[in-house]
Amino acid sequence: MKLIIASNNAHKVTEIKAILSPFFNEIMTLKEAGINIDVEEDGTTFEENAVKKAVEILAAAPFADAAISDDSGLMVDALNGAPGVYSARFAGEGHNDEANNKKLLEMLDDVQYENRTARFVSAVALARKDKPILTAHGSVEGIILRESRGENGFGYDPLFYYEPLNKTFAELSADEKNSLSHRKNALSALYELLSKEGE
């Protein structure tokens, strides 16, 4: 069984291989599969974007049995779930992590600590030949701080405070983050779905 990951991100690839290798004997990145298409993520939910990407990648890879994609982002309660699916372009197209974080802090300026609750959310979609699409979700809860902490990670990680470890996501090691991340939780849920199918 050949699986294509709709990404070339090394961290994602490692995580997906570690969890899903029992179900696929060959797992490859887009680059390894010789696929170079950019799927427009224009869905209104993480799941819509993940499904669209997985379906289009599988259609472009007739030699593969399945394609997996994920879409993830930050949802802040005080902002009614924003930035949500717009997490990567919160400050506008072409802006970077710094601009996105700055906008987030400005919008939460007068919000008290106990009301700065947020979660990272991930949806994964597995498109398969001659089988239904499987989707799974994962999340991790945190608080948005007033200033950045930590040098690791990317995106909103320096502002996302994870209380059980008393660290922001940018202060976690790669192993720590991978063990509790929203994507890891979504992939674990997908693993359970695949296991049940095989029973």
d(CA 144, CA 160): 5
71 part of the active site: yes
**C-alpha pair distances (Å), 5 with each of 1, 54, 66, 92:** 13, 8, 9, 27
DSSP string, 75-141: EEGGGTT-BGGGGGGTT-TT--HHHHHHHHHHHTTT--GGG-EEEEEEEEEEEETTEEEEEEEEEEE
**C-alpha pair distances (Å), 37 with each of 59, 164, 182:** 11, 40, 26
Paired with 134 in beta bridges are: 126
Q: What is the CA radius of gyration of the chain?
A: 17
From 42, 65, 71, 97, active-site residue: 71
Parallel/antiparallel/unpaired status of strands 117-128 and 160-162: unpaired
The DSSP output letter for 3 is E
* Residues forming the active site: 71
